[in-house]
Amino acid sequence: MEYIHPKDHNKIAKKLPTIGVVFLFVIIVGFITTKEPEHKYVISITEMQAAVLDQKESLSPEESIKILYSHSPEYRFIDLRNPHDYINGHIEGAVNIPLQNLLSEEYASLLEDESITNILYAYSQSQACGPWMLLKQLGYNNNRIMLGGYNFIKNNVMDNFTLRSNNYQDELAKYDYAKVVKETSGGLNVGSKSKAKKALPVARKKKKKAAAGGCS
């Protein structure tokens, strides 16, 4: 064991207070200069788990389409996909907020406007769950998840339910979606001077498995 001379002990003892003061100064400066996080979680993990399991903040494809065709000003569709895919096709009236820009200042006013309920969607419903959970933890309570995602809605609703008729007015709704999904067949009555023509059937494809579940 190395022998330390008493004089060396005294030198070390004299340096300790100085080292302590310097260390304390560094800590204080760190607290002063460290910026507070720009975003803070406002709900606990337990509360978040309960919200996920509850699934009250998820909308079925039927509910989402009903809202879409009602043109209600109380709802806003938010497309979380990349701008390229958004340009190639999106839900009518949807606002494109790419996932990586979700918390940017550019879109803060949209997320903070609690007078409007945002309906989040991505390619699939699972890809919208993460953004919804993040916003929920940050205190944004006006967001819902569109179950099925854009791909399901487009393939099973938007592309399949159309009327086989050239006689319609652009300013009127093409069909009553709620009626279409409930009835096995439907039609559009077109008037004429002599007599009403036979109702035209609605083109329907084989019913596919409905979207289910939420983020759980």
Dihedral angle of Cα 172, 173, 176, 177, to the nearest 10 degrees: 180
Q: What does the pLDDT average to over 190-204?
A: 50
Residue 149 falls inside a structural domain: yes
What is the rounded CA–CA span in Å between residue 73 and residue 204? 30
Question: Is the confidence at residue 84, as pLDDT, over 90?
Answer: yes
The tally of domains found in the chain comes to: 2
Q: With respect to residue 127, please indicate whether it lies within any of the assigned structural domains.
A: yes
Whether residue 211 is predicted with pLDDT greater than 60 in this model: the reply is: yes
Domain of 114: which CATH number?
3.40.250.10
Kindly report, residue by residue over 115-160, the tens digit of the pLDDT.
999 999 999 988 999 999 999 999 999 999 999 999 998 888 777 6
Which domain does 196 fall in, by range?
162-205
What does the pLDDT read at residue 53? 82
Q: What tokens were used for 200?
A: 């035209």
Does one domain contain both 190 and 108? no
Task: Verify that 49 and 146 share a domain, yes or no.
Answer: yes
Specify the pTM. Answer: 0.60
- Burial annotation 198-212 (CB, 10 A radius, 16+ → b, else e): eebebeeeeeeeebe
Same domain, 91 and 194: no
Q: Are residues 108 and 192 in the same domain?
A: no
Structural domain contains residue 36: no
Do 50 and 146 fall into the same domain? yes
pLDDT digits (tens, 9 = 90+) for 15-57: 445 554 455 455 555 545 555 556 677 788 888 888 888 888 9
Average pLDDT, the chain: 73
User: In this prediction, what percent of the chain has a pLDDT beyond 90?
Assistant: 37
Inside any domain, residue 5:
no
| CA dist., res. 77 & res. 87, Å (int) | 15
HSE-CB for 17 with a 13 A CA cutoff: 4
Residue whose tokens read 């399901």 = 152
The answer to the question of residue 94 being in a domain is yes
Does residue 152 sit within a domain?
yes
- 88 and 184, same domain (yes or no): no
